[in-house]
Structure 1
């Protein structure tokens, strides 16, 4: 593919308070071979430069005026309105192929707005946020776009300094480089999403992925340890899949039991809301994940646990929690705007729940199975199998449903031959 000669980078920030930083970043983008397109998201003041998209244009994109935004009540309401305008404007620029990447800078206020902009931009268009709260617990997972890059704005606020310029220059080089080298997602085959964990816990994708690829689909596997599920939900919300095989749901269980290793409250909702057909299974819902380096939480101290590595460990949930999780799963699936099939493997739902393994708890599994049987209601299909989730029978059941849906036109047919 030909190299992009001068990537067009949308640079977003409050020019009335961060002009020095934004002008420095514009210079860095130019030195890296890019061209800056400035968007000013100031509310009260004006920048000492003329942005390509000023605050009036941002307000207009939110179908209001900057005067109305300034008098809306407080800084939170004002910046929330500016976020609507900035996201709409950035989306419009991307849709007419006017930008090749976007970078925003901010503290909590600017980051809050920039997260909305990133979610409005399409997958594959490079997006980077320079933030004083990058990687912070202040950012809920549901706010993070699937392919968002972030860097901590070390030494930021109140002008330039050596530490700050080191970070800003790296960020600008990164976004120009990403814009030059980015390969947008191909659309020559229908895309199917599969959620899973590593092969040591769930290994159905080892068989399902090549089987679906032979049927002419591009298969994307998401690792459901928090941000993997978030990425899948983000793409699903944009209608990015022909079908979703959501077979690993421990992020749902984590969120319901208060674990930080979750993907947000809307996990298991976006595909159905977007009208994407789903085949769902309860992979690993019996596990409550926690950061291994924090030790076992007090409320799980009497439960069997498995230390996966120095970052992640898991304990089993009890019967009562699993019944609650079953009801929550059924409620989420009942809201879907497309067909849903739920495969219930009564023989076990992850590798370590087998007899003799550390997380084996047959009574709690039985309580979950019974709760799931009671909670699932038509039109959601219930497919119960006696086998374990890591069995050939499970794979055959999933593929049987998928093939039936293809034959019925619910899932588009794959393309086994693709033009060069």
Structure 2
């Protein structure tokens, strides 16, 4: 008996995605495991040249039609890359259509690089809170660009995943199937009862403004969602902002932007600091930790940073600092991104420092390089952005006070909706 049977609870319907012509054994095993876990498997076939030995609920012709084309046209498109790109477009559109119609509660996809490429598009087509699971031979690989990873994507390595089923492969596939069914059954989609403010930060040891800022916003009746800017945190902030999921954004930790410009692997993608502005979401921005470039602590410091101050945060993460020239380039990049904003935007420039370890007596203290950034930033703030300069440090009370004064003024002016107290929200 499936989970929830006899209790009125509907069994979660899971879309199982893969190329049935080449991976039929694995996909059929997954179908059985989804059912065994209490879900209802629905097969979506993304084969191009062949056909699966089973009858899928959604065949390859339906996928092609969703992309506005046909399988013969896809076969004739040129090569395997163009063919799978078209199938990815169709699979993403069809999956979204099924979700919007209430016909699926989550999906699981199987693939190597081809199938993973397709599955990433499918995941991005669905909103936050819909279970998305990818079984991949390149799970967690640096081949996956941050901007293509959905904010709540779950992955597991398709261990032993070539040339049919084996005990190692079955273990990975069964775990994945149980996980996606469980997530669909007990997961909670975001249930917003107060205006949400998205805030970026970098942990209490580096940026401490959240200690005072969060309770102040809570008291004003806002839900604060804080994103740790170590790559995927900033990606999540950007994705939700793009969907206008915030009443306002306080983007105070921009280290991922500096990382991206310095070719660090700790990046959120090329569009960091762009999506809230493009979506017209009111945003207050500050340059938290832009002087630091993250590097894996378990690798040698890159030669180009060999003479720069270095801070080991832990055994995973270390940081070097940009020189004055690099910081000027970062300031110009921030200004260019702020110029894209279509909504109210303010920039707070703390001339006393922008992260914990740049203060006097700390290992990353470089006052001349900080001054170079401040001077360039003053010139780079575009005309559509209100510049607010404070003499204090970003971790000072003066910074929090300035951020709250801008925010409160926007509430008074109707730019940001008023907060809702918990009593009013539950009434």
TM-score by length of 2: 0.96
1:5 is displaced (CA, Å) by 4.1
Partner of 2:131: 126
Q: Is residue 308 from structure 1 mapped to residue 313 from structure 2 by the alignment?
A: yes
Contact 2:338 2:382 in 1 (8 A): no
Q: 1:165 to 1:400 in 2, by over 3 A?
A: same
1:187 is displaced (CA, Å) by 2.1
Equivalent runs, 1:387-406 vs 2, <5 Å = 387-406=392-411
CA distance in 2 between counterparts of 1:18 and 1:104 reads: 11
Partner of 1:341: 346
Deviation string 1:275-312 (CA, Å, 9 cap, x unpaired) is 21111000000001100000322111111111000000
Q: Unmatched 5+ residue regions in structure 1? A: none
SS in 2 for 1:11: strand
Contact 1:4 1:180 in 2 (8 A): no
Partner of 2:180: 175
Equivalent runs, 1:97-176 vs 2, <5 Å = 97-176=102-181
Q: 1:4 to 1:370 in 2, by over 3 A?
A: farther
Partner of 2:72: 67
CA distance in 1 between counterparts of 2:195 and 2:56 reads: 40
SS in 1 for 2:426: coil
Equivalent runs, 1:281-300 vs 2, <5 Å = 281-300=286-305
CA distance in 1 between counterparts of 2:406 and 2:64 reads: 48
Equivalent runs, 1:309-328 vs 2, <5 Å = 309-328=314-333
SS in 2 for 1:37: strand
CA distance in 1 between counterparts of 2:103 and 2:123 reads: 16
238-247 or 358-367, which moves further after superposition?
A: 238-247
CA distance in 1 between counterparts of 2:399 and 2:133 reads: 40
SS in 2 for 1:57: helix
* Residue 362 (structure 1) aligned to one of 367, 378, 382: 367
CA distance in 2 between counterparts of 1:369 and 1:3 reads: 62
CA distance in 2 between counterparts of 1:361 and 1:158 reads: 56
SS in 2 for 1:282: strand
Partner of 2:376: 371
Contact 2:37 2:181 in 1 (8 A): yes
CA distance in 1 between counterparts of 2:150 and 2:245 reads: 13
1:128 is displaced (CA, Å) by 0.6
Contact 2:327 2:369 in 1 (8 A): yes
CA distance in 2 between counterparts of 1:46 and 1:215 reads: 58
Partner of 2:83: 78
CA distance in 1 between counterparts of 2:373 and 2:39 reads: 55
TM-score by length of 1: 0.98
Q: Is residue 12 from structure 1 mapped to residue 51 from structure 2 by the alignment?
A: no
* Residue 332 (structure 1) aligned to one of 337, 341, 364: 337
Aligned residues: 420
Partner of 1:257: 262
Q: Is residue 58 from structure 1 mapped to residue 87 from structure 2 by the alignment?
A: no
Partner of 2:234: 229
SS in 2 for 1:220: strand
Q: 1:4 to 1:298 in 2, by over 3 A?
A: farther
Contact 1:303 1:316 in 2 (8 A): yes
Q: Unmatched 5+ residue regions in structure 2? A: none
Partner of 1:268: 273
* Residue 87 (structure 1) aligned to one of 80, 92, 97: 92
Q: 1:317 to 1:3 in 2, by over 3 A?
A: farther
Contact 1:215 1:415 in 2 (8 A): yes
* Residue 384 (structure 1) aligned to one of 389, 401, 409: 389
1:410 is displaced (CA, Å) by 1.6
- The CA RMSD over aligned residues, in Å, is 1.3
Partner of 1:413: 418
Deviation string 1:12-46 (CA, Å, 9 cap, x unpaired) is 10111111111100000011110001111111111
CA distance in 2 between counterparts of 1:398 and 1:147 reads: 29
Contact 1:7 1:34 in 2 (8 A): yes
CA distance in 2 between counterparts of 1:37 and 1:307 reads: 48
